[in-house]
Amino acid sequence: MTEPRVFYYRQAAAEKMPASEAIPKPYFAGFWIRFFAYIIDLIAVGSIQVILLTPLFTGVGLPKHSSLFSLYGLASALLFLAYFIVFTKLGGQTLGKMLLGIKVIRLDRKPLTFSNVLFREGLLRYLQKVILPLYLVVAFTPQKQSIADLLENTTVVHIGYLELETKA
């Protein structure tokens, strides 16, 4: 069995490719690129928190306890969730995904719905943040899906790349 080939997708090249030669499918983003995109996103969220929340709480004289059940902790959690929900709904990408050239898609190729994004990036993102080993599922699924992806029928793909499987 030969390894699948990965090609940069260009519209003109795709039109010239004989259908009998290969079957294009999305090139799924694996664990490490998703991990680094998440690290970039954590830096972005942390920066927004320092720029917006810290001066606001300091200016008003409110304490900045990092406990989840403090007002500051609640505001930080809402900022974290809003960042992932808004960016993913607007274009399927957070800043980390944009920088690394990956994107969230539905496996049926339909646009992401608000309920997809709210469940995937809201509830499940927070759950995976609390139970970190859940992220490791990405490394072991054929379509590189996390628990959230499996439940929402989504995945993360490289933008502009297709994997070509030769017909058997």
Cα distance between the two ends of the chain:
10
Instruction: Please provide residue 3's backbone torsions phi and psi, each rounded to the nearest 5 degrees.
Output: -70, 145
Name the band, by pLDDT with cuts 50, 70 and 90, for residue 11. Answer: very low
The reported pTM is 0.79
pLDDT digits (tens, 9 = 90+) for 138-156: 999 999 998 889 999 999 9
Could you tell me the residue range of the domain that residue 9 belongs to?
5-166
Cβ–Cβ under 8 Å, residues 8 and 163:
no
Domain total for the chain? 1
pLDDT digits (tens, 9 = 90+) for 33-78: 999 999 999 999 999 999 998 888 888 777 776 666 788 888 988 9
Q: Is 136 a residue whose pLDDT tops 60? A: yes
